[in-house]
Amino acid sequence: MKPGNIPVPAVRRLSLYLRQLDNLWRDDQRTISSRQLGDALKLTDAQVRKDLAYFGQFGQPGIGYNVEELIARIRGILGTDRMWNVLLVGAGHLGMALSAHRGFARKGFRVVAVFDDDKAKIGKRVPSLEGVTIQPVEEIARAVREKDIRLAIIAVPGEAAQGVTDRLLAAGVRGLLNFAPVSLDVDTAVAVSSVDLAVQLEQLSFQVGAAASLEDVKK
């Protein structure tokens, strides 16, 4: 099956399976049943089997899946069986924390270039990244070309995000992880994943408030 034909929710679950499998592997578990894999993620074993069947049948009845093989297959599908060079725009608090995020390297993502438009920051070394200094955004196109970069992380204020986006796409970047609190206007061929930290909390405040008002109703 072509990767493009796997539904988006299934692709999200593949990431969760992979995370779970990586943890099992570290704990020396070598085989796993669909039920065990589902339990940890609160999914039925039927759902797990269906998702994994997108890339062929290879679990063994009564034994389950070989953890190592399953990790390799999922990585192959997700495209993280190779290293990706990633660039980061925005060297503020969040950007610097992201540049130091060890989880990225573990999954095969390497932040190889950092950009900002603040002259006071340009030329400074990024403490967490060996040999990386903060460059002006005008250098983005050159870095994308020289380092074969397809993915970028945007950690700039909302008002700067669209300009940065336009520059990234013109340079050939094809996937954006956006932390700026705005909706980006991009071509449909571009992959965008947005994380608005404040919106995440807002959704929780809704749920906690709604649960509280339901309790009031029950009383």
CB of 61 to its own copies, least distance (A): 26
**Helix 8-26 vs helix 45-53: angle between axes, to the nearest 10 degrees?**
100
Q: Is 21 in the site for its own copies (CB under 8 A)?
A: no
Type of residue numbered 188:
T
CA distance 199 to 181: 8
Type of residue numbered 7:
P
CB atoms within 10 A of CB 48: 23
**Helix 67-78 vs helix 8-26: angle between axes, to the nearest 10 degrees?**
140
Report which of 77, 36, 30, 26 is spatially closest to residue 53, judged by C-alpha positions: 77
Instruction: Tell which one of 20, 34, 135, 165 touches its own copies (CB under 8 A).
Output: 20
CB of 60 to its own copies, least distance (A): 25
Site residue total, its own copies (CB under 8 A): 70
> Of 47 and 128, which CB lies nearer to its own copies in the complex structure?
128
Three-state DSSP at 153 gives: strand
CB of 146 to its own copies, least distance (A): 19
CB atoms within 10 A of CB 113: 24
Instruction: Tell which one of 30, 46, 68, 106 touches its own copies (CB under 8 A).
Output: 106
- Binding mask 147-166 toward its own copies (x if CB under 8 A, else -) reads ---xx-x----x--------
CA distance 88 to 143: 11
| H helical segments located in the chain | 8-26, 34-41, 45-53, 67-78, 93-99, 102-107, 140-147, 158-171, 197-218
Question: Of the listed pieces 62-70, 88-96, 115-123, 137-145, which binds its own copies according to CB under 8 A?
Answer: 88-96
Q: Is 213 in the site for its own copies (CB under 8 A)?
A: yes
Question: Of the listed pieces 8-16, 29-37, 60-68, 114-122, which binds its own copies according to CB under 8 A?
Answer: 8-16
Q: Is 94 in the site for its own copies (CB under 8 A)?
A: yes
Name residues contacting its own copies, limited to 179-208 (CB under 8 A). Answer: 181-183, 189, 191, 193, 195-208
- Which residues of the chain form contacts with its own copies (CB under 8 A)? 2-4, 11-12, 14-16, 18-20, 23, 40-42, 77-80, 84, 86, 93-94, 96-98, 100-101, 103-104, 106-109, 128, 150-151, 153, 158, 174-177, 181-183, 189, 191, 193, 195-214, 217
